[in-house]
């Protein structure tokens, strides 16, 4: 079976990968950060979108974009 490079996958699959990574971040945020670590993060708001969510979303988008460019054949 031939391995398909990430750059050849449909956009909907790439979008689903990005959303799944953000969903994992959201679960980590709810179960770990909101319970124990929110006092130590500047500009963090419990239960509301904040700067940290934007930073993680940008990191995920950047990583997926770089992965898309690095695997072009």
pLDDT tens, residue by residue, 29-38: 999 999 999 9
- The domains of the chain are located at 9-70
Task: Tell whether the model's pLDDT for residue 11 goes beyond 90.
Answer: yes
Q: How far apart are CA 16 and CA 39, in angstroms?
A: 32
Q: What is the pTM assigned to this prediction?
A: 0.84
| Predicted pLDDT at 18 | 96
Task: Tell whether the model's pLDDT for residue 73 goes beyond 60.
Answer: no
Q: How far apart are CA 19 and CA 26, in angstroms?
A: 10
**Per-position DSSP letters for 16-64, written without gaps between them:** HHHHHHHHHHHHHIIIIIIIIIGGGSTT--TTS--HHHHHHHHHHHHHH
Mean pLDDT estimate for the chain: 91
Q: What is the dihedral of CA 64, 68, 69, 72, to 10 degrees?
A: 160
Task: Tell whether the model's pLDDT for residue 19 goes beyond 60.
Answer: yes
């Amino acid at each position: 079976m031939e391995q398909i490079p990430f750059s050849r996958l449909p956009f909907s699959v790439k979008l689903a990968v990005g959303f799944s990574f953000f969903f994992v971040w959201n679960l980590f945020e709810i179960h770990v950060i909101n319970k124990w670590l929110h006092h130590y993060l500047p500009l963090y708001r419990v239960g509301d979108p904040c700067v940290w969510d934007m930073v993680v979303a940008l990191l995920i988008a950047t990583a997926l974009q770089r992965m898309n460019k690095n695997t072009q054949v």
